[in-house]
Amino acid sequence: MPIKQLGHALAEMYYLSLYTACSVAGAFRRLAHHRTGHRRPVVLVPGFLGRGLSYFKLQRALIERGHSVYVVDLGFGVGDVATKSRELEAFLEHHELEDCYLVGHSMGGMISLGMSAQARQRVRHFITLGTAYHGAILSHVVPFFPAARQLKPRSKTIVALAEGAQSCANLTNIVAAWDEIAFPVRVCSIPTCRQLIGAPGHVQLIMSKPALEMVCGVLDELDAGEQNV
Residue 34, number of CB atoms within 10 A of its CB: 17
pTM of the model: 0.94
The answer to whether 117 touches 110, Cβ cutoff 8 Å, is no
- Decide yes or no: CATH 3.40.50.1820 for domain 3-228: yes
Cross-strand partners of 157: none
The answer to whether 34 touches 63, Cβ cutoff 8 Å, is yes
Q: pLDDT 10s digit of each residue in the chain, 229 long?
A: 578 788 889 999 999 999 999 999 999 999 999 999 999 999 999 998 889 999 999 999 999 999 999 999 998 878 899 999 999 999 999 999 999 999 999 999 999 999 999 999 999 999 999 999 999 888 888 777 888 888 899 999 999 999 999 999 999 999 999 999 998 889 999 999 999 999 999 999 999 999 999 999 999 999 998 655 4
Number of helical H runs and strand E runs in the chain = 9, 6
Cross-strand partners of 67: 39
Distance CA 182, CA 139 (A): 9
Task: Classify residue 32 by burial, with Cβ atoms within 10 Å: 0-12, 13-18, 19+.
Answer: exposed
What does residue 80 show for φ and ψ, rounded to 5 degrees? Answer: -55, 130
Indicate the domain borders of the chain.
Answer: 3-228
The answer to whether 72 touches 52, Cβ cutoff 8 Å, is yes
The secondary structure of 130-194 as a DSSP string is: S--TT--GGGGG-TTSHHHHHTSTT-HHHHHHHHHHHT-SSEEEEE-SS-SSS-SGGGG--TTSE
